[in-house]
Amino acid sequence: MPILVVRHGEAMAAHGNDEERVLSLRGRDEARAIASALSLRGMVPAMMIASPLVRAVQTAELLAQGLGYAGLISVDRAFEPHGDALRAEHLLTSVPGLVVAVSHEPFVRVITARLTGQASVKSFRTAECALIDGGRVVLRLDPDTA
């Protein structure tokens, strides 16, 4: 079952609570660019899940719109920046079809490494994604290469 791990788009600078940071205009454009590139590759999510932090939810909403996903976007604290990798892995591997997960650094690296059996993986840029299938990364896209 394929899993798409996505880092949220660029967010505005923190003015108070980090959990409430919203996407910048650039971050919105980044999310739309990734959604467009994934759509052109025929990606159709069976499920979408995001960290509850605003910037991750906003990124997931833009991805859903760009991919024609009309289902609910699940929100789970396991996908926060220092989330629960065991719970996240269970959620990601329990659904048939493409699962899209929107999270943060460093968690996107942690869950990607865990799902591929690697000790570590390269950092993710904002709105960068990795498609994992068969226990390996088969595609990695960022807004500039999309």
Cis previous bond, 96, omega within 30? no
- Output the average pLDDT for the chain: 95
pLDDT value at residue 17: 79
Distances in whole angstroms, Cα of residue 131 to Cα of each of 1, 11, 26: 11, 23, 23
The tens digit of pLDDT for each residue in 100-122 reads 999 999 999 999 999 999 999 99
Beta-carbon contacts of residue 12 (< 8 Å; ≥ 6 apart): 21, 22, 23, 24
The span from the CA of 140 to the CA of 142, in Å, is 7
The span from the CA of 137 to the CA of 132, in Å, is 4
Fold observed for domain 3-9+20-141: Rossmann fold (3.40.50)
Comparing 17-31, 39-53, 73-87, the range with the smallest average pLDDT is: 17-31
Both tokens of 123, joined, read 């950092």
Both tokens of 9, joined, read 């788009």
State pTM to two decimals: 0.95
pLDDT of residue 123 exceeding 90, the answer is yes
